[in-house]
Amino acid sequence: MGRTVQKNNMTNDDLKNAILPENKQLITDFLDYLRSLDRASSTIEQYESDLYIFFVYNLQYNNNKRFTEITKREFTRFQNHGINEWNWSPKRLRRVKSVISSLSNYIENILDEEPEYSNYRNTIRKIESPVNQPVFEKSVFTREELQRLLDHLVYQGDYRRAAVLALGMYSGRRKSEIPRFKTWYFNDDNVLFGSLWKTPETVRTKGRGSRGKQINVYVLKKPFEPYLKLWMDYRIENGIDSEWLFPNMRDYSKPIGIDSMNDWTSYFSDYLGKPFYWHSLRHFFTTELARNNIPANVIQDIIGWESADMVKIYTDITVDENIGKYFDENGIKKIETKSLSDI
């Protein structure tokens, strides 16, 4: 099955409604402030979720205390509860503490002219956090492993999942970006150098602000095209008419939902024999480009990173394999740079 995250049902409407009205108003005002800064809606939703978790805890264990009166000792108890009672990872705890600290900064810097908040100071940032340790073992997939999965999906006639998987493999796009592709991106007018599709319009990717970062996306044509054709033929045969490459199968006017893609990870993991998660395909794509000696600055441009340093982070090539590209039984090898059409 796919990677699992510790989940706790810590809030419900009754508990939220019982939170001290002043604390609830702070949440509302703070989230409105973030909207005024054009923060992404997904960021605001995450902040809201984390804040309600904290304030329900405050309701249950601090007697619904005013936020501005919570002490460092009480914040420390919350930290201990998160780690030892809710089994949170250090990373998740750090995230929630960061959200609480951001609320504290809002009070200290924005509400300081109001008498009840004039002497407030952010104290949670003074509390040391547990060491941030990786929780998940990273899954590295070879081309052969993923090809076996693709072959299996095609054999099963599951052309939609095969095409989605292939698009992730040969574009390196995030899970949230794959649903944004449209059918007309993949025609001859949008082919560069005979080997890359370039989207004719920008696609919203991860970035600051509600609109994120807008970039043109590149897809390796040769390895993706067979799965695209199978899927498009299936669409025609079954009357699936939608501008979205992967529409919601209950409402063709909408793209496929992230929940559907999440549901597939368990099936993929079972077949592959190790945890599958969509972000692993971003590593796979980067590694394939690097393995074929595509320069780091070109990989940076293809994926849309602001720094070539990200290439090293996402490349899963061992030290021995990397050195082995330059040496054989005859000594130092002459390296030939490959083109994208060779991949």
Whether the Cβ atoms of residue 79 and residue 127 lie closer than 8 Å to each other:
yes
Which of 51, 116, 49, 127 shows the shortest CA–CA distance to 59? Answer: 51
- What residues pair up with 332 in beta bridges, in sequence order? 327
4, 165, 238, 284 from 264: Cα distances, Å:
13, 10, 22, 18
Does pTM top 0.75 for this prediction? no
Using one digit for the tens of pLDDT, what is the confidence trace for 50-95?
Answer: 999 999 999 999 999 999 999 999 999 999 999 999 989 898 999 9
Average pLDDT, integer, range 90-103: 93
Q: Does domain 143-323 have CATH number 3.40.50.300?
A: no
Q: Is the model's pLDDT at 16 over the cut of 70?
A: yes
User: Domain 13-126 classified CATH 1.10.150?
Assistant: yes
Q: How far apart are CA 239 and CA 73, in angstroms?
A: 62
DSSP 304: T
What does the alpha-carbon distance between residue 333 and residue 285 come to, in Å, rounded to a whole number? Answer: 25
Please check whether the two domains, 13-126 and 143-323, share a CATH topology: no
Q: Domain residues of the chain, as ranges?
A: 13-126, 143-323
Q: CA separation (Å) from 329 to 154, 320, 332?
A: 41, 15, 8
Tens of pLDDT, residues 172-223: 999 999 999 999 999 999 999 999 999 999 888 875 555 567 889 999 999 9
Angle between helices 21-36 and 90-110 (to 10 degrees): 90
Cβ proximity of 49 and 92 under 8 Å: no
pLDDT digits (tens, 9 = 90+) for 292-337: 989 999 999 999 998 989 999 999 887 777 777 778 777 887 766 6
